[in-house]
């Protein structure tokens, strides 16, 4: 029996909480998952109960340790999670309110106030973020205005990743990649933007001390070890933002590479040497932040990539015949018989900063069957990826990627990946690492525990199965024409209609 150490990585995701134990070369030895509990009290609102999140995380940890012959081999544990969602804690480390979900829309008034008070361009220049309601500072301001008692009792504001690490180790800290998503970090200086926080009357002391990803926080607390089956001596290390940890797992750490991380949402992740300063990038909704390896990244993408597929499957297809949907769509000619799909099911994606935009099918006829519509959904997702990527490369110091790597459960949709490679006109390497985000977190834990000397050493030990997806060359001209002449016109053409519908809904 081998005595090599095991590294536990967790991914607190929008849909599921996943935990896996990895060997140092990246093989999954044990894994478990639990649905992420989310509540929707009214349209546009969503939240999590922090104690319930913790219990689900503990249950997944306990299942993983229970699968191991010797859980004492676990050397480390680290956590990645969605960003823009945090737990407000009192001085004793107890939650003072629920966790507002990252995609919750209730904070639009607070974002508007920040725009009027501070200004979008100034915020972008300081934090690297376009002003969007999802970011942490908007949620803190909402709590202050709407739950003043909870805000008054709040002593610390911990991202969900940091909250889990705090419960594991007893130490409160935040890494730079998640701090980058708060709208409260001075990105160039990598420190909390104290002057900004004073200006908006938010105590800077609410934010935890900053620590590099992969640094050790301490051992697992004895009571948590008893509850989860983790060994008492296992090191708890600082984790990071889920998309950034996924990028780490497949080696997207240098300019010239790009990660396409496709889950419920899609992140187009490009490493850059320094923060971008062109304010137009922020106006278009792009964001940037600190990489878990050092350096920086710029981020485009879309909010409802996998979510669009799930919506179609549940509303118009069937939960039980996903493969049949793909087969039907493969039998539809490229271009979907003239049907276009705009995947703005929650809001518009960069380069359109428009929370009032919504999804649409355009070009329907009696020829359109279920497979036609599903192919249009997949083509719309690919077009939207290109729509987000092209402007970013046009006016930034981000190098056009020589290598595009893809991860995430949605990459198993073979037709989507073929269409995407064809629309982008580039080969995509799909990593068959089923839990890349958890692996990225596990790598950081391994560095913190001394299993790896450093991140480059860790990446040198990993072995990934890969699939190379090439463009369908005879379809490249068609998709290029459809993108340029039709798809790029869809959002501008529908903008006024969607805004009118939004106004009508507000008056109901």
User: What is the full per-residue pLDDT of the chain (508 aa) written as tens digits?
Assistant: 458 999 999 999 998 999 999 999 999 999 999 999 999 999 999 999 999 999 999 999 999 999 999 999 999 999 999 999 999 999 999 999 999 999 999 999 999 999 999 999 999 999 999 898 999 999 999 999 999 999 999 999 999 999 999 999 999 999 999 999 999 999 999 999 999 999 999 999 999 999 999 999 999 999 999 999 999 999 999 999 998 999 999 999 988 899 998 988 898 999 988 898 888 888 888 889 999 998 999 999 998 999 999 999 998 866 668 899 999 999 999 999 999 999 999 889 999 978 899 999 999 999 999 999 999 999 999 999 999 999 888 765 556 788 999 988 899 999 999 999 999 999 999 998 778 999 999 999 999 999 999 999 999 999 888 899 999 999 999 999 999 999 999 999 999 999 999 999 887 6
Please say whether the beta carbons of 292 and 240 come within 8 A.
Answer: yes
Q: Is residue 283 part of a domain?
A: no
For residue 351, say if its preceding peptide bond is cis, omega within 30 degrees of 0: yes
- What's the total number of domains in the chain? 2
Whole-number Å distance between alpha carbons of 276 and 507: 40
Last residue of a domain, one of 219, 243, 267: 243
Last residue of a domain, one of 226, 243, 260: 243
Give me the CATH number covering residue 339: 3.30.420.40
Please check whether residues 14 and 127 belong to one and the same domain: yes
Q: Is residue 72 part of a domain?
A: yes
Whole-number Å distance between alpha carbons of 300 and 268: 5
Nearest to 299 by CA among 359, 356, 342, 247: 247
Please check whether residues 212 and 312 belong to one and the same domain: no
Please say whether the beta carbons of 265 and 302 come within 8 A.
Answer: yes
Please check whether residues 168 and 48 belong to one and the same domain: yes
Domain that residue 45 falls in: 6-243
Q: Is residue 477 part of a domain?
A: yes
Please check whether residues 340 and 484 belong to one and the same domain: yes
Please say whether the beta carbons of 125 and 279 come within 8 A.
Answer: yes
Please check whether residues 40 and 156 belong to one and the same domain: yes
Q: Is residue 423 part of a domain?
A: no
Angle CA(281)–CA(283)–CA(288) in degrees, nearest 5? 45
Please check whether residues 197 and 312 belong to one and the same domain: no
Torsion 366-370-372-376 (CA) sign? positive
Q: Is residue 48 part of a domain?
A: yes
Q: Is residue 279 part of a domain?
A: no
Please check whether residues 313 and 212 belong to one and the same domain: no
Q: Is residue 407 part of a domain?
A: no
Q: Is residue 378 part of a domain?
A: yes
Please check whether residues 77 and 188 belong to one and the same domain: yes
Residue 463 burial by Cβ neighbours in a 10 Å radius (0-12, 13-18, 19+): exposed
Please check whether residues 169 and 54 belong to one and the same domain: yes
Q: What is the DSSP string of 94-106?
A: -BSS-EE-TT--T
Please check whether residues 489 and 363 belong to one and the same domain: yes
Token pair of 127, please?
A: 């934090």
Please check whether residues 313 and 190 belong to one and the same domain: no
Strand, coil or helix: 131:
coil
Please check whether residues 229 and 331 belong to one and the same domain: no
Last residue of a domain, one of 243, 265, 291: 243
DSSP 375: H
């Amino acid at each position: 029996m081998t005595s090599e150490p095991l590294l536990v990585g967790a991914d607190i995701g929008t849909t599921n909480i996943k935990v896996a134990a990895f060997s140092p070369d990246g093989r999954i030895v044990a894994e478990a998952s639990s649905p992420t509990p989310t509540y929707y009290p009214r349209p546009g609102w969503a939240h999590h109960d922090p104690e319930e999140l913790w219990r689900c995380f503990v249950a997944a940890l306990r299942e993983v340790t229970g699968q191991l012959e010797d859980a004492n081999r676990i050397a480390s544990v680290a956590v990645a999670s969605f960003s823009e969602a945090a737990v407000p804690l009192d001085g004793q480390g107890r939650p003072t309110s629920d966790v507002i979900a990252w995609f919750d829309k209730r904070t639009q008034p607070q974002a508007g106030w920040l725009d009027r008070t501070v200004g979008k361009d100034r915020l972008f220049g300081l934090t690297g973020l376009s002003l969007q309601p999802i970011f942490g500072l908007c949620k803190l301001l909402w709590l202050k205005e709407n739950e003043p008692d909870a805000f008054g009792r709040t002593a610390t504001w911990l991202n969900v990743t940091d909250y889990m690490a705090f419960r594991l180790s007893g130490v409160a800290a935040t890494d730079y990649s998640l701090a980058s998503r708060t709208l409260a970090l001075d990105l160039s200086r990598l420190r909390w933007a104290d002057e900004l926080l004073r200006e908006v009357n938010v105590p800077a002391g609410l934010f935890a001390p900053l620590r590099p990803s992969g640094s050790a926080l301490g051992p697992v607390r004895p009571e948590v070890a008893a509850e989860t089956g983790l060994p008492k001596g296992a090191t708890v290390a600082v984790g990071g933002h889920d998309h950034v940890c996924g990028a780490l797992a497949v080696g997207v750490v240098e300019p010239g590479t790009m990660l396409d991380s496709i889950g419920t949402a899609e992140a187009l992740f490009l490493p850059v040497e320094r923060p971008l300063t062109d304010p137009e990038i922020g106006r278009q909704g792009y964001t940037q932040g600190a990489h878990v390896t050092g350096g920086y990244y710029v981020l485009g993408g879309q909010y409802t990539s996998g979510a669009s597929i799930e919506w179609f499957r549940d509303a118009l297809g069937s939960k039980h015949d996903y493969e049949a949907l793909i087969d039907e769509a493969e039998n539809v000619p490229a271009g979907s018989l003239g049907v276009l799909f705009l995947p703005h099911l929650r809001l518009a994606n960069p380069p359109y900063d428009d929370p009032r935009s919504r999804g649409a099918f355009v070009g329907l006829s009696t020829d359109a069957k279920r497979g036609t519509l599903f192919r249009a959904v997949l083509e719309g997702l690919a077009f939207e990826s290109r729509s987000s990527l092209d402007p970013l490369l046009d006016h930034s110091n981000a190098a056009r990627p020589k290598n595009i790597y893809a991860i995430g459960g949605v990459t198993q949709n073979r037709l989507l990946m073929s269409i995407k490679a064809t629309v982008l006109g580039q080969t995509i390497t799909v990593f068959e690492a089923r839990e890349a985000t958890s692996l990225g977190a596990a790598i950081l834990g391994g560095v913190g525990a001394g299993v790896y000397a450093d991140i480059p050493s860790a990446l040198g030990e990993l072995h990934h199965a890969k699939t190379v997806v090439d463009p369908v060359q005879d379809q490249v001209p068609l998709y290029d024409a459809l993108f340029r002449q039709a798809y790029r016109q869809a959002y501008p053409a529908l903008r006024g209609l969607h805004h009118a519908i939004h106004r009508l809904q507000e008056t109901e």
